[in-house]
A and B are shown apart, each in its own frame.
Chain A
């Protein structure tokens, strides 16, 4: 009947439009902080906290970006951050996978006790070990260098990632391994040719977590690095947050520039990341 109004096609269109409007509203609410960050990065200092707030009240102040780049020597800090992040990423992904493979596939005395010990380090807050570890690294002359930040990872990876990858490796069928053994493959070959390729989604997920964690880490670089030209981006950006005054414009401009690599890595690896979350059951 005509009084019932819309036909099936119209109903479908109406439903789609409603869905898109709803999704649009949710997307905007999620994007709002990012949009606000971009708008703040283009405001002059005087109008940032103007009431009522305005998006771009007095033109585009690109000089916030210039200040963010020149005042904290952005590119040197970017390079320092990248070096630390990539080295930590390699240690976290490959060394953790190597250790996890050992726990998942080898039998050795006290295996469960060792694994429990590794897990127990997850429970230990970093603040508790910070000073003794700092003293230790100072004694061997590693303070004011990136060595304490990257080298430990190469001696065992990160416990959380070891745990996750061990669970993932336990699910790999033994038949694949046995076939490879019959073909004459060594344990290391099996790890490289069977376990690593099969675990790419999990490795990418761990890689993204590691990248994000290292890129945004403040405390580690703060404790170990003393010279301004060895600082990372998070330390550089903190310079805009003074005791008396916060320079919001350059701080937001610098934060956006620092955020870009994380976004790029995330979008490049997005597909595997989602797959990895499905497989490993973890998310950020």
Chain B
């Protein structure tokens, strides 16, 4: 019996080892079947500068990006770019690589990481090398998108996508309730008034969870920080915006945050439970909803403005030839503007008409939004600051606490973080 058991255990190990050896032997010849060719240019002369770009793109998106980079490589005379896929825990891997002096030359970043990486010296300013580079057209970018790449008056990253937040609405619900459809000129008061008319048993006028708290301050000319990093949260404009936020919450037009989170924010809109939803211009509600979807600029106070999720590519400070790397970065970014929607540039903007035909009805509205869209004035410790804003400001306002007291307590917390 014992012998039998030993034999079976041995057999299991032997099978696994044999499989490993066989597969390892097969693997060598299979490597050419890997997705595309990692962006490698097969005809690379020895004197070309080798560059690596880290991306979070996965599966189909990765293949498209590799094809795009391969095309850029074929026209380049002095560099060759290779794609490095980081499909999970992107920032953890990136930070480990930077710490281990293995940083890729370029890295995709979400806007909130730029100030942090720049202050730590992980990414390099581009201004010096961009000067005189004909392929770089600063004026072509929507101002808000290029602003997020700035840190201490230097440009550290080039944007490749900008998803301005739009006010989506369920046209069927509006028509059924006899409420006038939203317009690009809607104020927060109009938003509340319509929301009240649309809120009834089991249905809500709007969903607020996606709207960043800072966006309310912007719409009255305020902000959390100004461009120099000084706190502006206690300015009268900011306070006015935050008071409007509290009025919207108190009006009862939206489900409680926890309830909306548990039911899936976007799903509530898709299933006709809420009439208005603030989401990115690229969201696929037109395809995934069974009702007629409309889209306008989000409501405003004294200023028309909206938040935008902006993706950028930054250049590592460890790159060996920053001049050629900057040129490669500009070429690659220009190519991405012809691939990703919504493009952060005026010249690339019209791509949305062909690549997302279902958005054609709202192209001009999205263009208007792109012109007033912006990101945060990010700080080196933005992650912790966002935590403080959520804990001390957003939650306090939603609970109905005094706005001035919440602002004071938020500023105290931010000061301890930035000390």
Mark A residues whose CB is within 8 Å of B: 46, 49, 51, 67, 71-73, 75-76, 78-80, 82-83, 86-87, 89-90, 130-131, 134-135, 138, 143, 197, 200, 203-204, 218-219, 222-223, 226-229, 231, 234-236, 238-244, 247, 250, 265, 268-269, 272
Tell me if A's interface is mostly helix, strand, loop or mixed: helix
Chain A residue, CB-CB nearest to B264: A49
Q: Which residues of B contact A78 (CB under 8 A)?
A: 23
Interface range on chain B (Cβ under 8 Å from partner): 35 or more
- Contact with B58, one of A49, A197, A222, A238 (Cβ below 8 angstroms): A238
Tell me if B's interface is mostly helix, strand, loop or mixed: helix
Contact of B231 with A by CB under 8 A? no
Separation of A87 and B63 alpha carbons in the complex (Å): 31
- Determine if A76 and B27 form an interchain contact, defined as CB atoms under 8 angstroms apart: yes
- Determine if A250 and B20 form an interchain contact, defined as CB atoms under 8 angstroms apart: no
- Determine if B9 and A200 form an interchain contact, defined as CB atoms under 8 angstroms apart: yes
State how many angstroms separate the Cβ of B1 from the closest Cβ of chain A.
Answer: 11
- Apart from A86-B19, A143-B102, A222-B89, list 17 A-B contacts with CB within 8 A: A51-B267, A71-B59, A73-B35, A79-B27, A82-B19, A134-B100, A138-B100, A138-B101, A200-B5, A204-B9, A226-B84, A227-B34, A238-B88, A239-B58, A239-B85, A242-B58, A247-B59
Contact of B356 with A by CB under 8 A? no
Query: Residues 6-24 of chain B: 1 if any A CB is under 8 Å from the residue's CB, otherwise 0?
Result: 1001001100110110011
- Determine if A239 and B62 form an interchain contact, defined as CB atoms under 8 angstroms apart: yes
Q: Which residues of A contact B100 (CB under 8 A)?
A: 131, 134-135, 138, 143
- Contact with A239, one of B34, B59, B84 (Cβ below 8 angstroms): B59
State how many angstroms separate the Cβ of B69 from the closest Cβ of chain A.
Answer: 13
Contact of B31 with A by CB under 8 A? yes
Query: Residues 78-89 of chain B: 1 if any A CB is under 8 Å from the residue's CB, otherwise 0?
Result: 000000111111
Contact of B33 with A by CB under 8 A? yes
- Determine if A200 and B96 form an interchain contact, defined as CB atoms under 8 angstroms apart: no
- Determine if B34 and A223 form an interchain contact, defined as CB atoms under 8 angstroms apart: no
Contact of B47 with A by CB under 8 A? no
Separation of A222 and B33 alpha carbons in the complex (Å): 21
Q: Which residues of B contact A229 (CB under 8 A)?
A: 30-31, 34
Q: Which residues of A contact B120 (CB under 8 A)?
A: none
Contact of B258 with A by CB under 8 A? no
State how many angstroms separate the Cβ of B311 from the closest Cβ of chain A.
Answer: 8
Q: Which residues of A contact B43 (CB under 8 A)?
A: none
Chain B CB within 10 A, most for which of A90, A240, A244, A250: A244
- Determine if B6 and A200 form an interchain contact, defined as CB atoms under 8 angstroms apart: yes
- Determine if B12 and A268 form an interchain contact, defined as CB atoms under 8 angstroms apart: yes
Q: Which residues of A contact B17 (CB under 8 A)?
A: 86
Contact of B210 with A by CB under 8 A? no
- Determine if A222 and B88 form an interchain contact, defined as CB atoms under 8 angstroms apart: yes
Query: Residues 21-65 of chain B: 1 if any A CB is under 8 Å from the residue's CB, otherwise 0?
Result: 001101100110111001000000000000000001111111100
- Determine if B33 and A83 form an interchain contact, defined as CB atoms under 8 angstroms apart: no
Separation of A49 and B2 alpha carbons in the complex (Å): 52
Q: Which residues of A contact B288 (CB under 8 A)?
A: 46
State how many angstroms separate the Cβ of A190 from the closest Cβ of chain B.
Answer: 16
Separation of A239 and B88 alpha carbons in the complex (Å): 7
Chain B residue, CB-CB nearest to A77: B34
State how many angstroms separate the Cβ of A146 from the closest Cβ of chain B.
Answer: 10
Chain A CB within 10 A, most for which of B6, B17, B85: B85
A83-B23, A138-B102 given; A197·B93 CB < 8 A: no
- Determine if A73 and B58 form an interchain contact, defined as CB atoms under 8 angstroms apart: no
Q: Which residues of B contact A226 (CB under 8 A)?
A: 84
Q: Which residues of A contact B30 (CB under 8 A)?
A: 73, 75-76, 79, 229
